[in-house]
Amino acid sequence: FNDNYAEYRGGAIKIDSYGAASVINSIFTNNRVTKSTGSNHGGAIYSVSEEGIEVRNSYFENNEVPYLGAAIYLDNDGADVIENCTFKNNTGNYGAINAENTKVTIKDSKFSDNNGNNGAADVIMNSDDSSIANCDFKNSYGGGNGGSINWAGNNGQLSDSTFTNCIAAVLSSAGAVYWSGNNGEISKSEFKNNKAFDSGAIRLYGDDVTVKDSKFTNNTASLNGGAIDIDGINDKIINC
């Protein structure tokens, strides 16, 4: 899928079905949504299926959207899986992937050089009971909460992932991960050379969030919290 465009939703594919859908072994480059209104999302894929979708072994580069989901926008009733995919140099206001009101698993994937003009560059997680595992995030630039990830969903799990050279460009954000959901866990992950005004690597704004078994190296905050800034209630740092 190369150089496709739509004015409103889904530069390459729009999924609005009653059953599950799959995208496997596919390449999406230079797809875009062009019209700048508030509900125009999904630079490559826009999905509002009654079941979930799976996206596996696929590649997303240079896709663009005015608002949410430079590569993929998800607002499905069922569970979604994104596995073994690459997201490179995608640009939107918020996230290469935007997950709204769904349950999503993102694993074994790579994110690099994505840009979020007004929010996190790689993932906007507005979904409960979701997870990210064994992913690599680098050179992300976010113009809002979280250079790489903004996690607002409850009961989230982030594990076995690396964040390198991620930058947040606004105050009260976090270089790599801004976490406002409750009852979450960040584990077995590494944060290196991330930068922000506040919270060089992670900002914990949600309650009952645990960060454990993780490594923080050379992260920088111009103001507060070189690695972590904690603003939530009953948050924990264990074995870091």
The tens digit of pLDDT for each residue in 121-158 reads 999 999 999 999 999 999 999 998 999 999 999 999 99
Exposed e or buried b for every residue in 27-57, given b needs 16+ CB within 10 A? ebbbbbbeeeeeebbbbbbbbbbebbbebbe
* Spatial separation of the C-alpha atoms in residues 67 and 118, rounded to whole Å: 9
C-beta of residue 229 within 8 angstroms of C-beta of residue 221:
yes
Contacts of 94 (CB under 8 A, 6+ apart): 67, 68, 69, 116, 118, 119, 120, 124, 144, 150
Q: What is the mean pLDDT of the chain?
A: 95
| Predicted local distance difference test score (pLDDT) of residue 208 | 98
Number of other residues whose CB lies within 10 A of the CB of residue 160: 16
Mean pLDDT, residues 23-47 taken together:
91
* Spatial separation of the C-alpha atoms in residues 234 and 13, rounded to whole Å: 43
| Predicted local distance difference test score (pLDDT) of residue 182 | 98
Position 112 pLDDT exceeds 90: yes
pLDDT in tens, 166-196: 999 988 789 999 999 999 999 999 999 999 9
Mean pLDDT, residues 215-232 taken together:
96
Tell me which amino acid residue 185 is. Answer: E
In 3D space, the residue among 150, 133, 157 whose CA is nearest the CA of residue 202 turns out to be: 150
Which of 7-11, 15-19, 78-82, 224-228 is predicted with the least confidence, judged by mean pLDDT?
A: 15-19
- Tokens (6 digits) for 139: 């050179």
In 3D space, the residue among 53, 134, 146, 57 whose CA is nearest the CA of residue 96 turns out to be: 146
| Predicted local distance difference test score (pLDDT) of residue 38 | 66
Q: In percent, how much of the chain has pLDDT > 70? A: 99
Burial of 74 (0-12, 13-18, 19+ CB in 10 A): buried
